[in-house]
Structure 1
Amino acid sequence: MDTVVWVLISTALVLLMTPGLAFFYGGLVKEKSVVSMMMMSFGSLGLVAVLWILIGANMSSIDGSVWSFSGNPFSNFGQEGVAGSDLLFVAFGGTFAIITTALISGAIADRARFGPWMIYTGVWATLVYFPVAAWVWGGGWIQNLGDILGGLPAVIDYAGGTAVHINAGAAALGLALVLGKRVGFNKDITQPHNVPLVLIGAALLWFGWFGFNAGAASDPDEAGLIVFNTLAAPAAAILGWIVVEKLRTGKATAVGAVSGVVAGLVAITPACANLTPGWALILGLIAGAVCALAIELKFNLGFDDSLDVVGLHLVAGIIGTIYLGFFATDTGLFTGGDAGQLVVQTISVLAVAIFSFAASWLIGTAIQKTIGFRVTSEEEIAGIDLAVHGESGYALSSQETVSAK
């Protein structure tokens, strides 16, 4: 009963992370695009949840060969053959699928149409997230990579470094390249319109992340370590980020601090059950500092990742997953093991990143070439809330509206 209660609580915690992401992303965009940005998260919540129930949970578990692309989507269509507490674990897995897909939306903020985004969401979740989840956690080739390579350690990805963050980050890069740069793309265009909203969203994400990381914990000792590391790494990442920010710009910002939180949370996700607290702190410091530098890559390399999904989720996901090759308890290169852990971690990172990037680029390109993905330049400049949704995030009073006219 205790396990059932904890998974129930964790399911609610992780589900809350998607509205938290909506707040986080919504505060970072222009004030006339906040509704559009938040709707992309809620749209993902609705569509991916339904797809998960119908076919996704089935696809994420492989019964046959480890080389299968995914499980049979129709084995328990609509979860008809699942009953009792097993449905709770299906629901828990579904919350991961939802937020992974929603994460991608930050890369195309301020310039994407809602309908094409929903099509992309459904296709990407079905062809990319569900299979990758099967590879990593559902009996697929990544989960069995150590044995496939002849007695190497198993890949460690406790809560989603590859399946969630590298997967979403690589997909975000592919989709950002398809949609191209925003009108007037430069460093000034990235200024958030509502910093308190960003902080509220980050707080909800950190709160929910305790369920995200520890929801599958099998015993109290394991849960204790995971919860402790989920506190330690993001706290250290705040410091790593704001120190770099202070040295680079002369100021430590609130948005920088909570971006550090996200970087630390992402980095500790795959490693939360396999690092001692000291190594978790160091991981957080590294992730915060490196991601503070990585978000500048889009200006140096010329791609427009609006809300730094690549600089946070892809980069921190890679750091956290590869870090295990060096410092995983008992199996890391410097913590009692050999290079085997590093080898399997690196292969899993490359495989998921390449597959997700390529698939995302192809899906996005197909949508862009057929029905179009971007709004018009005029709608983008004016702000897309009214054009796409007929709503405004900050409606003026009738008196102010008259005065504005």
Structure 2
Amino acid sequence: MDTGHTAWILAAAALVCILIPALALFYGGMVGSRRILNMMMMCFGGVSVVAVLWALFGYSAVFGNSVGKLGLIGDVTQYPGLDQLLADNPDAPIPVALFAAFQLLFAGITTAIIAGAAAGRMKFGAWMLFAGIWSTLVYLPVAHWVFALSSPDGSVTGGWILNGIKAIDFAGGTAVHINAGIAALALSLVLGRSAGWPKSEHVRPHSRPLVLVGAGLLWVGWFGFNAGSALAAGNSAAVVFLNTAVAGAAALLGWIAVERLRLRRASSVGAASGLVAGLVAITPACGAVGPLGAIAIGAIAGAVCSLAIEWKFRLGFDDSLDVVGVHLVGGVIGTLLIGLFAIEAAPNKTAGLFYGGGFTLLGTQALATAAVLVYSFVVTWISAKIVQLTVGLRIDPEDELRGIDIAAHAEEAYVIDEEPVQLGSPSRT
């Protein structure tokens, strides 16, 4: 057991945990003032459902030995309740229980990302049920495909994307961002548009400072997400950390540059969204490219995602907080551009097309992307339909118009005391 590696992954896991309130603030600032509590509750609630399921059978489904030889799903009976992970393992560089906790947070934040597509119009109970179904039927199999490593002696069979076609996804571009982004599209199609969309007052961000604060905290937490995926305190983590920093910055600049050219302004929400788009895009590529490649991927993602968020208006689907335009499009860009910008000096030690590697890697990345897109969309759509036909998805139209916070939680985020306070009177708590 290496205490240095263990200390770093403990810190990285804490940084990934910061992503939960960061996403809640980022999403919460982007919705209307009468939707913020529900939006934040969807983030925290979805993560909580996933955490319990992860301990019961989720870890086994992802990192258990594959059932059969195809690498489709792990054995859910292998580590029930995770009691088997508590003992010291002298052969592991970090405690297995720590690795399980680190990956638990990946599963939770992936589910929470989807909530942005359903802002303000989905029953809270229906969301909690959907979160449990989706994480079980979609996230766990896809994460097994991407993250579960086969043992060198063949005694443990891992996922087919990682071990079969050998696609590169350092920290979760396919399993996390493409997966959540295409799921958000499927859910938004089943759920339908918000009342008054796209001109409803609830569509406008009610607190741009919260959006910026949330984006900044996401940047901080993302260092744990990406660099922690090296699973060691060493050169790989350092390279990934550097790539994550410059890609996020380049994407912010790319997004506001497009805004400046198209709209003659550079908005705060655009800057925050561009930053997140760059972090999404570099997630799969952070161990495969150098800093110049990271800057290129970030800048491309920021510019393209800035244009992609307009698709929902042209195609007529209500993706409330642009999960599709940022996470799906950014995830696809980052995953595919590995095939162009990968460099052998990076931790993944593979060359892309621009560095003499040919088209093979690009084709492999495209196959992994297509597989996750198709599986996640189909199963998510069916899952959402099942919830719709059983408990229903949408809140009442009247509750949607007056704001979901009071209807779902009997609370208001901001209570203004209109009674004047007399000078010299006792202060009120």
Task: Please report the TM-score for the alignment, with normalisation by the length of structure 1.
Answer: 0.95
Distance apart, 1:67 and its partner CA: 1.4
1:250 correspondence with 2:253:
no
The code of the aligned residue for 1:209 comes to W
The one of 244, 248, 260 aligned to 1:234? 248
The one of 354, 378, 383 aligned to 1:363? 383
1:76 correspondence with 2:96:
no
The one of 94, 97, 101 aligned to 2:104? 94
Residue range with higher mean Cα deviation, 59-68 or 380-389: 59-68
Hey, what's the Cα distance between the residues in 2 that align with 1:399 and 1:264? 46
Residue range with higher mean Cα deviation, 240-249 or 92-101: 240-249
2:225 maps to 212
The one of 167, 184, 187 aligned to 2:196? 184
Please, what is the CA RMSD of the aligned residues? 1.3
Residue range with higher mean Cα deviation, 300-309 or 137-146: 137-146
Hey, what's the Cα distance between the residues in 2 that align with 1:261 and 1:163? 20
Distance apart, 1:72 and its partner CA: 1.5
CA contact (8 A) 2:24 2:43 kept: yes
Per-residue Cα deviation, 1:271-329 (whole angstroms, up to 9, x for no partner): 00110101110111100000000000000010000000000000000000000011111
1:171 maps to 183
1:127 maps to 137
1:43 maps to 45
Per-residue Cα deviation, 1:318-367 (whole angstroms, up to 9, x for no partner): 00000001111132111121111011100000100111111111111111
CA contact (8 A) 1:329 1:336 kept: no
Distance apart, 1:269 and its partner CA: 0.2
2:62 maps to 60
2:405 maps to 385
CA contact (8 A) 2:64 2:79 kept: no
Per-residue Cα deviation, 1:98-152 (whole angstroms, up to 9, x for no partner): 0000000000101011000000000100111111110001111111233xxxxxx
Hey, what's the Cα distance between the residues in 2 that align with 1:137 and 1:66? 16
Distance apart, 1:35 and its partner CA: 0.4
CA contact (8 A) 1:112 1:375 kept: yes
CA contact (8 A) 2:72 2:160 kept: no
Distance apart, 1:381 and its partner CA: 0.7
What pairs up with 1:253-402 in 2 under 5 angstroms?
A: 253-330=267-344, 331-397=351-417, 399=419
SS, match of residue 375 in structure 1? coil
CA contact (8 A) 1:239 1:285 kept: yes
Hey, what's the Cα distance between the residues in 1 that align with 2:419 and 2:392? 38
The one of 154, 157, 160 aligned to 1:141? 160
Hey, what's the Cα distance between the residues in 2 that align with 1:174 and 1:345? 23
Distance apart, 1:398 and its partner CA: 6.3
CA contact (8 A) 1:111 1:384 kept: yes
Hey, what's the Cα distance between the residues in 2 that align with 1:81 and 1:395? 49
Task: Please report the TM-score for the alignment, with normalisation by the length of structure 2.
Answer: 0.90
Residue range with higher mean Cα deviation, 198-207 or 311-320: 198-207
Distance apart, 1:209 and its partner CA: 0.3
Structure 2 regions of 5+ residues with no counterpart? Answer: 89-94, 149-157, 345-350, 421-429
Hey, what's the Cα distance between the residues in 1 that align with 2:262 and 2:284? 29
Hey, what's the Cα distance between the residues in 2 that align with 1:246 and 1:106? 26
Hey, what's the Cα distance between the residues in 2 that align with 1:318 and 1:343? 13
CA contact (8 A) 1:168 1:313 kept: yes
Distance apart, 1:247 and its partner CA: 1.4
- Work out the number of aligned pairs and report it: 393
SS, match of residue 270 in structure 1? helix
The code of the aligned residue for 1:286 comes to I
Per-residue Cα deviation, 1:41-76 (whole angstroms, up to 9, x for no partner): 010121111111111111002424441431121211
The one of 18, 40, 47 aligned to 2:20? 18
Hey, what's the Cα distance between the residues in 2 that align with 1:62 and 1:46? 22
Distance apart, 1:176 and its partner CA: 0.2
The sequence identity of aligned pairs, in percent, is 51
CA contact (8 A) 2:64 2:78 kept: no
Hey, what's the Cα distance between the residues in 2 that align with 1:377 and 1:80? 46
1:106 correspondence with 2:116:
yes
The code of the aligned residue for 2:226 comes to N
Residue range with higher mean Cα deviation, 382-391 or 44-53: 44-53
Distance apart, 1:235 and its partner CA: 0.2
Structure 1 regions of 5+ residues with no counterpart? Answer: 147-153, 401-405
The code of the aligned residue for 1:335 comes to Y
CA contact (8 A) 2:195 2:397 kept: yes
After TM superposition, the runs of 4+ consecutive aligned structure 1 residues lying more than 4 A away are none
Hey, what's the Cα distance between the residues in 2 that align with 1:106 and 1:392? 20
Hey, what's the Cα distance between the residues in 2 that align with 1:38 and 1:216? 26
- The structure with the largest alpha-carbon Rg is 2
Hey, what's the Cα distance between the residues in 2 that align with 1:259 and 1:23? 13
Hey, what's the Cα distance between the residues in 2 that align with 1:280 and 1:122? 34
Hey, what's the Cα distance between the residues in 2 that align with 1:69 and 1:238? 37
